[in-house]
Amino acid sequence: MHGMKEIIQEAESLPVEERAIIIDSLLRSLNIPRTEIDIEWARIAKRRLAELRSGKVKAIPGSDVFAKIQKRFEK
Protein backbone atom coordinates (compact mmCIF):
# COMPACT_ATOMS: atom_id res chain seq x y z
CA MET A 1 0.00 0.00 0.00
CA HIS A 2 1.38 3.37 -1.02
CA GLY A 3 1.37 6.28 1.37
CA MET A 4 0.10 9.69 0.33
CA LYS A 5 3.62 11.08 -0.27
CA GLU A 6 4.53 8.17 -2.53
CA ILE A 7 1.31 8.54 -4.50
CA ILE A 8 1.95 12.26 -5.00
CA GLN A 9 5.57 11.66 -6.05
CA GLU A 10 4.49 8.99 -8.51
CA ALA A 11 1.76 11.22 -9.94
CA GLU A 12 4.20 14.14 -10.30
CA SER A 13 6.49 11.97 -12.41
CA LEU A 14 3.76 11.32 -15.00
CA PRO A 15 3.38 13.28 -18.24
CA VAL A 16 1.22 16.42 -18.02
CA GLU A 17 -1.70 14.81 -19.88
CA GLU A 18 -1.86 11.91 -17.46
CA ARG A 19 -1.63 14.23 -14.45
CA ALA A 20 -4.54 16.24 -15.85
CA ILE A 21 -6.60 13.06 -16.12
CA ILE A 22 -5.80 12.17 -12.51
CA ILE A 23 -6.69 15.67 -11.31
CA ASP A 24 -9.96 15.60 -13.22
CA SER A 25 -10.82 12.21 -11.78
CA LEU A 26 -10.06 13.31 -8.22
CA LEU A 27 -12.06 16.53 -8.59
CA ARG A 28 -15.00 14.61 -10.00
CA SER A 29 -14.87 12.28 -7.00
CA LEU A 30 -15.24 15.32 -4.72
CA ASN A 31 -17.98 16.92 -6.75
CA ILE A 32 -20.04 14.19 -8.36
CA PRO A 33 -21.16 15.40 -11.80
CA ARG A 34 -24.86 15.84 -12.38
CA THR A 35 -25.72 14.78 -15.89
CA GLU A 36 -28.51 17.30 -16.42
CA ILE A 37 -26.23 20.18 -15.42
CA ASP A 38 -23.38 18.91 -17.61
CA ILE A 39 -25.75 18.64 -20.57
CA GLU A 40 -26.96 22.21 -20.03
CA TRP A 41 -23.42 23.57 -19.75
CA ALA A 42 -22.44 21.76 -22.96
CA ARG A 43 -25.48 23.26 -24.73
CA ILE A 44 -24.56 26.76 -23.56
CA ALA A 45 -20.90 26.32 -24.55
CA LYS A 46 -21.88 25.14 -28.05
CA ARG A 47 -24.25 28.08 -28.45
CA ARG A 48 -21.58 30.56 -27.34
CA LEU A 49 -19.01 29.03 -29.67
CA ALA A 50 -21.46 29.30 -32.58
CA GLU A 51 -22.10 32.96 -31.69
CA LEU A 52 -18.36 33.66 -31.71
CA ARG A 53 -17.77 31.86 -34.99
CA SER A 54 -20.69 33.58 -36.70
CA GLY A 55 -19.55 37.02 -35.57
CA LYS A 56 -22.77 37.62 -33.63
CA VAL A 57 -20.62 38.37 -30.58
CA LYS A 58 -17.00 39.42 -30.26
CA ALA A 59 -14.51 37.99 -27.83
CA ILE A 60 -12.93 40.29 -25.27
CA PRO A 61 -9.19 39.73 -24.86
CA GLY A 62 -8.32 38.25 -21.49
CA SER A 63 -5.83 41.06 -20.82
CA ASP A 64 -8.69 43.60 -21.13
CA VAL A 65 -10.87 41.62 -18.75
CA PHE A 66 -8.13 41.30 -16.14
CA ALA A 67 -7.21 45.00 -16.44
CA LYS A 68 -10.84 45.94 -15.84
CA ILE A 69 -11.04 43.64 -12.80
CA GLN A 70 -7.80 45.00 -11.39
CA LYS A 71 -8.96 48.60 -11.88
CA ARG A 72 -12.26 47.80 -10.17
CA PHE A 73 -10.61 46.38 -7.06
CA GLU A 74 -7.86 49.01 -6.74
CA LYS A 75 -10.29 51.37 -4.99
Q: Has residue 63 got a pLDDT over 70?
A: yes
List the domain boundaries for the chain: 4-73
| DSSP 8-state secondary structure symbol assigned to residue 26 | H
pTM over 0.85: no
pLDDT band at 28 (very low <50, low <70, confident <90, very high): confident
Average the pLDDT over 35-50 and give the result: 94
Q: What is the sign, positive or negative, of the torsion defined by CA atoms of 49, 52, 56, 62?
A: positive
